[in-house]
Structure 1
Amino acid sequence: MAPVPGAFAVPPGALVRLAATRQRTSDLDLLHAALHSRRLVLLKALLARVGHGGLPSEAAAAFDRDWRLLARAEAPAPAAARRQLDYPAVGGWIVAALNTDGPDALATALRPLGGIAVGTALRTGARLDTVLPTADGHLTLPGIGVHATRTRHVRVRSGPRGVLLTPQGRRTRSVLLGPGGRGTGAGWTSLAVLPGSAARLDDLGTGPAPGPGTDRAAWLTRWRAAVALLEAADPWRAGEVTGLVRSVVPMTPAAEGASSGTLRAAPWAVHSALPGTARRFAEVLVHELAHSKLAVLADLLPLHDADASAVHRVAWREDLRPLGGVLQGTYAHLALADLWSRVATRPGASPDARRAARARRAEYGEQVADALPVLLNSHQLTHHGTRFTVSMKQHLHTLGQGRNTPHERSDSLSGDGDVR
């Protein structure tokens, strides 16, 4: 598992386009390649940590087995394996394991590696025949599903036609998983596919943290409605959401504070409580996807040299924010201002819809305008960070002047399409 070769130089045009929140396919290819390379570096860091971690002999042997399984699973089709290794929950798991304190905690954190190897084999068609331990009677395949076996071990046999999971020590029917991850058999639950995309509703806790019980029907209905609204108002942005989001992870609603978020270790995952309306869900998707893009870019190209001190005040938060948080929030709010600008100028919109959209654009635009001087006057942006921020400022000035293409429909985010 070697990192992607070559330096990841970011062309000036790509930096400007990303700053304007509307990148080209080639810009995304660069981000995806950089993310994968970083994922492999983190895996190698985990290998080094295990080598120096003083693990108990049983845990060290289990890790060696699972690492070899992963290498075998990847071998037949590295491109397909890359899709599995880049799944957001895998990144979250690696970072959580690297941050454990002490051999016992590390040994516990390493247990999901076997399930990652099996999930990779399902994508590549690799032939595996092994027995894996479960965690509290569950074998988890990130991005695919969970097998509740109620046994301590599961025999895994995989090949081009799928994966067969057979609980050991109990008379239970085996589970057969097809290459797409759909399974039949007692105890198996697949993640739900979010319609019109390759994303999953990751409500089974396939990442480092357990998932809450969810109403899948409500989530899928709200997702469909949010995407439909984006398609009506801004087809490009709708395509970005359905093409880039890999998972939506339900959160327990917070009594106060943020109701959605993005983990830097797990780009392309949207963590959110169920939004109350389709319009709100559309905004959450655009907002959190902007955070993912900037998280990957910031790992690829340092944009500032500030520490984590929270010393800056912004319009969208009551607490003080570190400069990195100001940059992230400014970028996400610029994406929302961009979205509402296109809603306000689409053909066929009613005067009331245009007024509502212009008000939303102005609200987000003012938040961005207030934050830009904080960034530019901080003296902590790098050369690239300054160029990025100036490009954000230039894009903000253009909003409201663009014209949408004639084929866009007249219903909108500011219309009556919300699902309550």
Structure 2
Amino acid sequence: MAAAPGAFHVPPATLVRIAATRQRPHDIGLLHAALHSRRLVLFKALLARVGREDLPAPARAAFDRDWRLLERAESPTPAAARRLLDYPAVGGWIVDALNAPGPDGLTAALHPLGGIAVGTALRTGARLRTVLPTVDGRLVLPGIGVQDARASHVRIRTGPHGALLTPVGHLGRSVPLRPDGRGAGAGWTSLAVLPGSAGRLDDLGTGHIAFPDVSRAPDVQPRPDRAAWLGRWRAAVSLLQAADPWRAAEITGLVRSVVPMAPAGEGASSRTLRAAPWAVHTALPDSARRFAEVLVHELAHSKLAVLTDLVALHHADGSAVHHVAWREDPRPFDGVLQGTYAHLALADLWSRVAERPGAAPAARRAARARREEYRAQVADALPILLNSHQLTEHGERFTVSMRQHLTSLGGGPGSPYALSDSLSGDGDVR
């Protein structure tokens, strides 16, 4: 596996643009490069942990086999391999394996590595010949799909034209896969493409961090209604394209996966896993508008998660907790920063919706009301950050830029939607 790149420099202008939630393509390029570097560091950390642990001989042999497969899969075209290695669920799996308790926990957590190697070979066209074990008869290829092999092992051949998956002892259940991961055959299900994007609906139980348990997921919960999810996604993107084309392009360009969750409590719930940026974990939102908000909100969390791996924005230790308008429970400092940024993105969205040409008066009023709801939440939280003495120099620049962007939303000082004077100044952070 190629060595991770060196340290990255974040120009002040990049920090300011990301803080305003509307970065440029080269800013995102920097985030992508940083994420890949971090991913390679995590892979190397996993290799080091396996080397330290007293694993059973079969587990160590399986890891050595899968690691060699991954190196061979990546070698023809490392740039093409990035698409699979940087897939959100792969990051979640590595962190899950690094945190697995003891040799037994690590042994169980290492199982997906072979499937990651096969998926990488599909992207690069590498030639692999191997036999991989299944979990309860299922072979999982993260970011690609699942084979219900109904066998304990699957024989795998990959090359420039795709792959052939043949359950040992069941030749009639062989599955040919194209290089893009699409295939057909008994027991094979591909992840669905999110319309208008390169992302996937990760609805097969492969998008969660707990990879060792994904084979049991179908027994616990019914499979999500794929047509409903894809239809709701399509409607949400259409709404964004009509109201805010830039934001729609950001969503379709950056979201790598949508992972269905069971509803938690009342209404839809969503989250972003720090280890798996560019994935949106959510229950099915009840409307296109709500789905659009979830996508904007969670993508903001992903951007900030990658950025804060690149540059420190604060030095709070997490012990202090703060009350914010959008949560009943108190939040640690990092949670306040994350939430403030995500709600600023929503305020920005609804400001664009409110000012779009041709909007009907009722729609404009409704959008302004949504904007003001989010602006008030951000305005309430900014003093917590600015007066905390916990921000680094980069964090001060980032937070002041958030404040300035919030001030810019809603028109001039005479507008009934203008921000109060308490947060509209551009003076030094105190």
**TM-score in terms of structure 1 length:** 0.94
Q: Which residue of 2 aligns with 1:410?
A: none
Answer yes or no: is the 8 Å Cα contact 2:183–2:190 preserved in 1.
yes
* Structure 2: runs of 5 or more not aligned: 413-430
Q: Would you say 1:303 and 2:313 are equivalent positions?
A: yes
**Contact 2:4 2:41 (8 Å CA) reproduced:** no
Matched with 2:392 is: 382
| Per-residue deviation, 1:180 | 1.0
1:10 pairs with 2:20: no
The residue type paired with residue 58 of structure 2 is E
Q: Distance in 1 between matches of 2:239 and 2:195?
A: 14
Give 3-state SS (helix, strand or coil) of 1:379's partner: coil
Q: 1:18-42 deviations in whole A, cap 9, x for unaligned?
A: 0000000000000000000000000
Change (3 A) 1:3 1:303: farther
Q: Are 2:264 and 1:254 equivalent residues in the alignment? A: yes
Q: 1:216 is matched by which residue type in structure 2?
A: R
Match of 1:149 in 2: 149
CA contact (8 A) 1:309 1:321 kept: no
Give the structure 1 partner of residue 50 of structure 2: 50
CA contact (8 A) 1:4 1:33 kept: no
Partner-residue secondary structure (3-state), 1:248 = strand
For 2:384 and 2:206, the matched residues in 1 are separated by 39
Cα shift at 1:307: 1.5
Match of 1:216 in 2: 226
- Identify if the C-alpha distance between structure 1 residues 354 and 3 changes in structure 2 by more than 3 Å, giving closer, same or farther: farther
SS of the residue corresponding to residue 155 of structure 1 reads strand
Inter-partner Cα distance in structure 2 for 1:134 and 1:173: 14
| Preserved contact between residue 139 and residue 147 of structure 2 (Cα < 8 Å) | yes
How far apart are residue 2 of structure 1 and its match?
Answer: 3.0
Distance 1:82 1:138 in 2: 25
SS in 2 for 1:271: strand
Q: How big is the shift at 1:6?
A: 3.4
Distance (Å, rounded) in 1 between the aligned partners of 2:287 and 2:35: 32
Which is further off, 184-193 or 303-312?
303-312
CA offsets 1:283-331 (integer angstroms, 9 cap, x no match): 0000000000000000000111111225100000000000000000000
Counterpart CA distance in 2 for 1:172 and 1:255 is: 45
Q: How many residue pairs were aligned?
A: 402
Cα contact 2:173–2:187 (8 A) shared by 1: no
Provide the rounded CA distance (Å) in 2 between the counterparts of 1:31 and 1:172: 45
> In the aligned structure 2, how far is the partner of 1:12 from the partner of 1:3?
27
Matches within 5 A, 1:167-316: 167-207=167-207, 208-209=209-210, 210=214, 212=221, 213-256=223-266, 259-316=269-326
Structure number with the bigger relative contact order (C-alpha 8 A, sep ≥ 6) is: 1
- Pair 256,350 (structure 1): closer, same or farther in 2 beyond 3 Å: closer
Using the alignment, how far apart are the partners of 1:401 and 1:33 within structure 2? 36
Partner of 1:129: 129
Matched residue, 2:418: none
1:29-66 deviation digits (Å, cap 9, x = unpaired): 00000000000000000000000011100000000000
Shift of 1:256: 4.8
Deviation at residue 5 of structure 1 after TM alignment: 2.6
| 3-state SS of paired residue (1:238) | helix
> Hey, what's the Cα distance between the residues in 2 that align with 1:364 and 1:10?
28
Instruction: Please state how far the C-alpha of 1:184 moved relative to its aligned partner.
Output: 1.3
Assess if the C-alpha contact under 8 Å between 1:3 and 1:38 holds in 2.
Answer: no
SS at match of 1:226: helix
User: Partners in 2 of 1:189 and 1:309 — Cα distance?
Assistant: 45
Partner amino acid, structure 2, of 1:297: L
Answer whether contact 1:177 1:183 (CA < 8 A) is retained: yes
Q: State the secondary structure of the residue aligned to 2:326.
A: coil
Distance 1:41-1:23 versus aligned 2 partners, 3 A rule = same
Give the Cα separation in 2 of the matches to 1:130 and 1:199: 28
Equivalence for 1:407: none
Residue 420 (structure 2) aligns with: none
Q: Structure 2 vs 1, CA of residues 388 and 258 (structure 1 numbering), >3 Å: closer, same or farther?
A: farther
Which of 376, 380, 384 matches 1:366?
A: 376
Q: CA RMSD in A?
A: 1.2
CA distance in 2, matches of 1:190, 1:257: 29
Structure 1: which 5+ residue stretches go unaligned? 403-420
Deviation at 1:171? 4.4
8 Å contact from structure 2 (residues 261, 281) kept in 1: yes
- Which residue is 2:423 aligned to? none
Please say if residues 176 and 185 of structure 2, whose CA atoms lie closer than 8 Å, have aligned partners that are also in contact.
yes
Identity percentage of aligned residues: 78
TM score, norm. by length of structure 2: 0.92
Please state how far the C-alpha of 1:214 moved relative to its aligned partner: 0.2
Are the counterparts in 2 of residues 342 and 400 from structure 1 also a CA contact under 8 Å? no
Does 2:337 correspond to 1:324? Answer: no
Runs of 4+ in 1 over 3 A off after TM superposition: 209-212
* Equivalent of residue 358 in structure 2, options 343, 348, 352: 348
Q: Which amino acid aligns with 2:114?
A: G
> 1:38: which partner in 2?
38
Structure 1 residue 136: deviation in Å? Answer: 1.2
Q: Indicate yes or no: 2:404 matched with 1:394.
A: yes
